[in-house]
Structure 1
Amino acid sequence: MPDRPALTARQQARLDAFTQAGYNFDPDLMADYTAATGWRVDNYETELPPEAPGPPVAQGSWAAACEVLRRYSFPPPGLITGIFLPDQPLAQRVMVLRAGFLGFSFWFGVRIGGVTDETRTLPGGGGQEQVWGYNYRTLEGHFERGQIEFIVHKNLATGRVWCHIHAVSQTGRIRNPFYWLGFKLFGRRLQVRFSRQSLERLKAQVEQMLQKGWLAPAATGPVVEPISAHDEAQEQLEKNQPSS
């Protein structure tokens, strides 16, 4: 990722305020968000180069996929043309994403809701798997409500490595009629393309890292810029500041 200029005190104050913005849904009710209750539940998966059985190896396929996820270099740049990251640990990261689709631009505020790093027991006596990843959740002002999760798996018995995307979403409240129409027409296609192309790019970047001695992914990724570079981004932050 390119280096990002240091934030000014004013920019940092805005980001701090954005960090306090609430979610536009209740994460504690995730178990209730199903197709039967009017939510979209999507799952996407891609196979990654396998490893030898056993724990993930240093600079292997599983570790490379974790690094690609951590860097957030996998989203398709044709859909995500801007991303704004505050100077925070992954578990506390807040992002403002600018998505473009067929001439429409949408500004999204999201926050990391949790980081997963654990060994799990596979069902049916399939042994254990090592998993790592995170989810991010939509904030107030987002056109959607819900959560998307990116997880890298390794089956410790077989060496199989794969990445899985799990998303739960519902259209949120969109006050602007122009944006409402654009999101109604194109939002779902944007969702599907984002997930499918993100997995394709993640796989390509993992393979590139393995072939080139663990160099950082060279594939074009989202642009990382200071929040002050875009009036619309600042405006989005202002909308999400909590009332004093």
Structure 2
Amino acid sequence: MRTWRFSPVSHPEQDLDEIATYELNFDPSTTGGKGWHHDRLRHTLAVEDPGDPEPGGPFEIACALVRDYEFSDRHIMSALFHSRAPLVGRDMLLEGRFVVLRFPMGVRVDAEVDETRERADGSSERVWGWSYRTLEHHLERGRLVYEVVKNLSTGKVEFVITGVSARAEIHNPVIALGFGVFGRFTQRRFYRVISHRLAERVRFVLEGGDRPVPDPVGPDDVVRAPSR
């Protein structure tokens, strides 16, 4: 697979078949070494009544949007995947955009989070989310976790992003230079943008709008998220 393009992915089903053969591009046991970035961002989405998540409330809406990658911004990153594939093990072809260039990058969902956690202050929080790891030919190496969290005492619903990442080996010297200059800035901007976008989409659904769902783009069940 080419590491960069001027045009969008034209045969997503073929590219998804290709990345299904890829392995991780890093050793998960080495992510504490030099050159690795550790990030954590929390963004408030809404407030429910204390207690278990409300049926059809902000927590449930946010979980559905996060599952479908409907929190992203197409101008920065979109995702292609098989909508009927199980969440854990799902291969995703991310398409990053920078100016006129597009960068196809494969990732694989490695875990689903679905639990109640005890906090240090004695309160509990309900958590749902998932994580992915990067595959061969990705510009970065690492793991990213997306979680929707509700504090059961206060009712506050948050979007929590936790990531560990490092630059991958990039053979094209021009792309390597560009990533060295703009990569970290773009990564941090992406975290901020998707947090605000998820809050906007949760609010839109709460106000009576239809929940966005990924757009069908290929044969069978291939979709692109976020939707237009």
TM-score (norm. length: structure 2): 0.83
Q: Percent identity?
A: 38
Matched residue SS, 2:88: helix
Return closer, same or farther for 1:91/1:49 CA change in 2, 3 Å cut-off: same
**RMSD value, Cα:** 2.3
Supply the AA of the counterpart residue of 1:128.
Answer: S
Superposition deviation, residue 20 in structure 1: 3.6
Does residue 52 of the first structure (1) align with residue 44 of the second (2)? no
SS at match of 1:91: coil
* Residue identity in the other structure for 1:225: V
Letter of the 1:39 counterpart: W
The SS at the match of 1:84 is strand
Alignment partners' CA distance in 2, 1:212 and 1:102: 35
- 5 Å-filtered alignment, 1:88-167, equals 88-125=85-122, 127-167=123-163
Greater fraction of residues in strand? 2
1:211 corresponds to: 207
2:8 corresponds in structure 1 to: none
Deviation larger for 179-188 or 62-71: 179-188
> Contact between 1:53 and 1:159, CA under 8 Å: does it hold in 2?
yes
Secondary structure at the residue paired with 1:85? strand
Please give the per-residue CA displacement for 1:126-149, whole angstroms capped at 9, x wherever unaligned.
x21100001111101111100111
Q: Which amino acid aligns with 1:22?
A: E
Correspondence for 1:241: none
Cα drift, residue 19 of structure 1: 2.2
Write the distance in 2 (CA, Å) between the matches of 1:46 and 1:180: 31
Structure 1 residue ranges, 4+ long, deviating more than 6 angstroms after superposition? none
Q: What residue in structure 1 maps to residue 27 of structure 2?
A: 26
1:182-215: per-residue Cα shift (whole Å, max 9, x none)?
Answer: 21222112211111100010000011111116x2
> Secondary structure in 1 aligned to 2:153?
coil
Q: Residue 41 of structure 1 aligns to which amino acid in structure 2?
A: H
Deviation track 1:113-164 (CA, whole Å, cap 9, x = no partner) reads: 1110011111132x21100001111101111100111111111122111111
Against the structure 1 CA distance between its residues 181 and 38, is the aligned structure 2 distance closer, same or farther, given a 3 Å change threshold? closer
Equivalent residue in structure 2 for 1:225, among 209, 217, 220: 217
Task: Check conservation: 1:128, 1:157, Cα contact below 8 A.
Answer: yes
Confirm or deny: 8 A CA contact 2:16 2:92 kept in the other structure: no
- Does residue 194 of the first structure (1) align with residue 195 of the second (2)? no
Question: How far did 1:11 drift?
Answer: 4.2
Count of residue correspondences: 208
Structure 1 residues 20 and 201, CA, compared in 2 at 3 Å: closer, same or farther?
A: same
Q: Which runs of 5+ in 1 are unaligned?
A: 1-7, 228-244
Structure 2: gaps spanning 5 or more residues:
1-10, 220-228
| Contact 1:79-1:99 at 8 Å conserved across structures | yes
